[in-house]
A and B are shown apart, each in its own frame.
Chain A
């Protein structure tokens, strides 16, 4: 019983541990104190807290949760409350029944982990926790059995904590049992039907929080992404792969400028793009696996010309999804690198693309007017602007000085120091001042090739902002002012361009290790976490099981699999443990041979008695079997079977 309580406490700790960084500090303190108290009470040093104390603790915890989170409903407050109450349940009583309930509730606790993360590491950890839980159940069953046979107080005295709690024989047996359930779980996982839409409502926060590109761009908004090395999406190219410097991934497009922040235009966002003139162009076909970011943007290579049915392509060639991206999404796209917009720029777009807060940045406005007065056309103006950026004193850095409200003037004339946001914003604003329609495009630039899985990885730290200008004979043209000032940004990433030095993770061996880990993560995500209805039907189709939606087919597949696995597991176990003691097995074979010769076998007869009987019934048989029976009697009832005896037994049996 003592070891059972220790084991159940360990199970509670194990199943709650991944929440360690998510629980508020006071909840962690409460849980730690409660668990230590429980162990202290078990050892006899402390008394169990009274019912009132526990109720008071629950009340204060609930109150604190309400204070901190505002309500009890929702993922985070629910998890905090559940973990505190699970820990306190350990105090309720020491009966086997209550401890069993606690152990089973630990399984629920594990499920709450999956609301926050479904990573591969968590899956391994889950198996360990299940193993600990099965150990607890074994100990509890033992304790109950002891209580049944020896009375209530059996085994209640504390012994030294069994150091072999986790290595004893039943622990090994539980481990082998757990390993044997994995094939069954795997088959069930692949074949079990999935729902295409939920049976009941989805709470709004049934998933991780929002990350990635934002709905607006202001200085500093992309900066926080530069330190996020997590994957934004992964790309598999079918056929031609463009060079890294041409990999611009299009995200949110911004039209409205208020002096510091850029905003999108809802109207253009809702309209559908008109894609024409792509017949003769060479397309790039690829597949993207997009990580969930709780937003609506969809990544696509500049410019996407096709879209999956469930997404929309807006008039400003931005891909977006009506539904929030809360799960990893897989989709195929085609893009062209050189796209020619046909026809004139619609009036509405031109008007908005030329808007800027007039008079806010007088110096820049005057400069543009001067350049126009020199007779420069659109292309020349832009070229000169880029030239300025590309030469001193403009520099690229991730820690530029702050800009005032007159952001354009400050940047162009004063600070001259910044990263892609600043350059894109300033460039677009000044182009507008020069009368050239322009807009800001954010997204990602570049990709990292992972040879193991043969895909390209785009991280959040590859976020980028650039500009698009409308030239009369060419339509919207991408211009990346950052490339002018820091070309290595485009080829080596933001941090490298800023001279921050090689990051620790970019050393060669670590890089390949990271690649392996990432491809494992990628495979895990693709085949386990995001194994949804569509994937399952594809897989079943490939396996030859026709994917009809009829319930009967599903049931047949399900139950036949269950049966097959069950029988095979049973059969293997049966074969393994049904083997008799080898001495007994040899004797059985001998008896069967006798039976074939017409001798009746009496189960209560020993070998020597059998020999006597044979001597009366059939002397010839008795002669042949005398050696065997005598040796067998010696071996069976003697101390240990020697090799010589084995030899004699086998030989005489063979000759019989």
Chain B
């Protein structure tokens, strides 16, 4: 699992690549939380377009980051999710939490 960070003003985009399972989630949590705190951003975007595998540990990762961003008065966005990940997110009731999600990768927005 590898991670790439991209900062633009008050937004931090995290490009996740590889497999997100329980084993990977612990390290990811620390890296992402650390980056949010040190950059002081108010918007966190998690890009899943290069994620080759995800189980419910990935859902826990999203939910945990959502709680932390809310606690900071910020917001979370999830993008690059395929139908399978979307189905899992819906199981967690994420639509009701108002987490924005799209199927497009975050890079599409910056390719202008």
Query: Is chain B found bound to chain A in the same assembly?
Result: no
A positions within 8 Å CB-CB of B = none
